[in-house]
Amino acid sequence: MVSHAQARATDPNYNAAESSYAWAITYDHLDGKAVHIYGPHNATEAQLEILAHPRKNADQLTRFRIYDDDGELYFSGYFLGDSESEEAFGPLDDFGAPDSGATEIRYLRGEEWETL
């Protein structure tokens, strides 16, 4: 099986400066309000356009939730990319941990929330 990194390395259109994933935080559970926070900083316009319309693009997105070490839900949103790989830690590493000290991310798999 070819990894995503290997596949990108052989793609003549691959740009290392562009992220292979993107995410949107759509709800801040600490403040109890909808938000529109996108990342990472090198997400492409095409990725951000997909994330801007989660209902329309639901087949391309995976829902996630970010928690602290006490299990308190901080943020929820959508992930675009390989949610089974290391890049799935992106929303936590890029935003949740540095912004709020969050320590855990869970992805919706069928009807269950799975911790990475």
* The predicted structure's pLDDT at residue 1: 35
Give the C-alpha separation, 63 to 1, whole Å. Answer: 26
pTM of the model: 0.84
Quickly state the pLDDT bin for 15 (edges 50, 70, 90). Answer: low
Domain segments of the chain: what residues? 20-115
User: What's the confidence (pLDDT) of residue 17?
Assistant: 85
Q: What is the mean pLDDT of the chain?
A: 89
Q: Is the pLDDT of residue 66 over 70?
A: yes
Q: How far apart are CA 116 and CA 97, in angstroms?
A: 14
Q: Which residue has the higher pLDDT, 11 or 70?
A: 70
**SS3 letters for 40-81?**
CCCCCHHHHHHHCCCCCCHHHCEEEEEECCCCCEEEEEEEEC
Torsion of Cα atoms, 74 then 41 then 24 then 106, to 10°: -50
Quickly state the pLDDT bin for 3 (edges 50, 70, 90): very low
Indicate whether 75 pLDDT > 70. yes
